[in-house]
Amino acid sequence: MPPGGEGEGEGEGENGITVQSHPPATVRRDEDAPPHSTPPLPDVPPVASKDKKQNLEPVPNLPEGALVEILSRVPYRSLCRFKCVSKPWLALCSAPDIRKRSPQTLSGFFYYQGERLCFRNLSGRGPPLVDPSLPFLRRSYKNVHVEQFCDSLLLCSCWNSCLPSKRDYVVCNPATREWIVLPPLVFLGQDQEVSHNFPSSVYLGFEAAVPSRFLVFATPYNADRLPGQMAIYSSETGQWTYVQTKWASESLLDLNRRIRVFLNGTMHLTTRYNYNTMLTVDAEGKVWREIPMPSPKKSVIFCTGQSQGRLYAWQMDYRYGCQLYIWVLEDYGTGKWALKHTVNVLELFGRHCRKDGQYYEMFAFHPDCNVIFLTDVKEMTVSYDMDSQKVSVICTKGMKGMPYTPCFAELQSASH
Q: Kindly report the CATH number assigned to the domain that includes residue 75.
A: 1.20.1280
Tell which residue, 151, 148, 179, 140, has the closest CA to residue 33: 179
Res. 1: pLDDT tops 60: no
Lowest mean pLDDT among 53-57, 117-121, 316-320, 342-346: 53-57
Considering the domain boundaries, does residue 255 fall inside one?
yes
Amino acid at 383: S
Regarding whether 364 and 267 lie in a shared domain, the answer is yes
Regarding whether 289 and 166 lie in a shared domain, the answer is yes
Regarding whether 81 and 17 lie in a shared domain, the answer is no
Q: CB neighbours of 267 closer than 8 A, spacing ≥ 6?
A: 14, 203, 205, 215, 217, 260, 261, 280, 281, 282, 283
Report residue 241 CA to chain centroid gap: 24
Residue 299: predicted pLDDT: 60
Regarding whether 133 and 91 lie in a shared domain, the answer is no
Q: How far apart are CA 16 and CA 7, in angstroms?
A: 51
Backbone angles phi, psi at 18, to 5 degrees: -90, 125
Lowest mean pLDDT among 18-22, 84-88, 107-111, 152-156: 18-22
Residue 211: predicted pLDDT: 85
> How would residue 308 be classed by pLDDT, with cut points 50, 70 and 90?
very high
Q: How far apart are CA 112 and CA 283, in angstroms?
A: 29
Regarding whether 145 and 16 lie in a shared domain, the answer is yes
Residue 404: predicted pLDDT: 93
Q: Taking a C-beta distance cutoff of 8 angstroms, is the pair 328, 267 a contact?
A: no
> How would residue 125 be classed by pLDDT, with cut points 50, 70 and 90?
confident
Residue 297: predicted pLDDT: 63
Res. 30: pLDDT tops 90: no
Considering the domain boundaries, does residue 40 fall inside one?
no
Regarding whether 375 and 330 lie in a shared domain, the answer is yes
Regarding whether 226 and 180 lie in a shared domain, the answer is yes
Residue 48: predicted pLDDT: 38
Q: How far apart are CA 76 and CA 386, in angstroms?
A: 25
Express each pLDDT in 130-165 by its tens digit: 999 999 999 999 999 998 899 899 999 999 877 656
Considering the domain boundaries, does residue 377 fall inside one?
yes
Considering the domain boundaries, does residue 39 fall inside one?
no
Express each pLDDT in 178-231 by its tens digit: 999 999 888 876 655 545 555 678 999 999 888 889 999 998 876 555 568 899
Regarding whether 380 and 339 lie in a shared domain, the answer is yes
Q: Kindly report the CATH number assigned to the domain that includes residue 168.
A: 2.120.10
Give Cα separations from 191 to 163, 216, 228 (angstroms).
Answer: 18, 21, 17
Q: State which of 78, 99, 120 marks the end of a domain.
A: 99
**Structural domain tally of the chain?**
2
Considering the domain boundaries, does residue 24 fall inside one?
yes
Regarding whether 395 and 333 lie in a shared domain, the answer is yes
Tell which residue, 115, 235, 95, 241, has the closest CA to residue 179: 235
Regarding whether 202 and 156 lie in a shared domain, the answer is yes
Residue 95: predicted pLDDT: 75
Res. 40: pLDDT tops 60: no
Residue 167: predicted pLDDT: 85
Residue 61: predicted pLDDT: 56
Q: CB neighbours of 256 closer than 8 A, spacing ≥ 6?
A: none
Q: How far apart are CA 347 and CA 343, in angstroms?
A: 9
Regarding whether 285 and 313 lie in a shared domain, the answer is yes
pTM: 0.76
Regarding whether 80 and 128 lie in a shared domain, the answer is no
Express each pLDDT in 253-292 by its tens digit: 776 666 789 999 999 998 876 567 888 999 999 999 989 8
Tell which residue, 307, 330, 304, 325, has the closest CA to residue 315: 325
Which H or E run contains 192? helix 192-197
Q: CB neighbours of 259 closer than 8 A, spacing ≥ 6?
A: 269, 270, 303, 304
Q: How far apart are CA 143 and CA 30, in angstroms?
A: 18
Task: Give the range of the structural domain holding residue 94, as residue numbers without chain letter.
Answer: 64-99
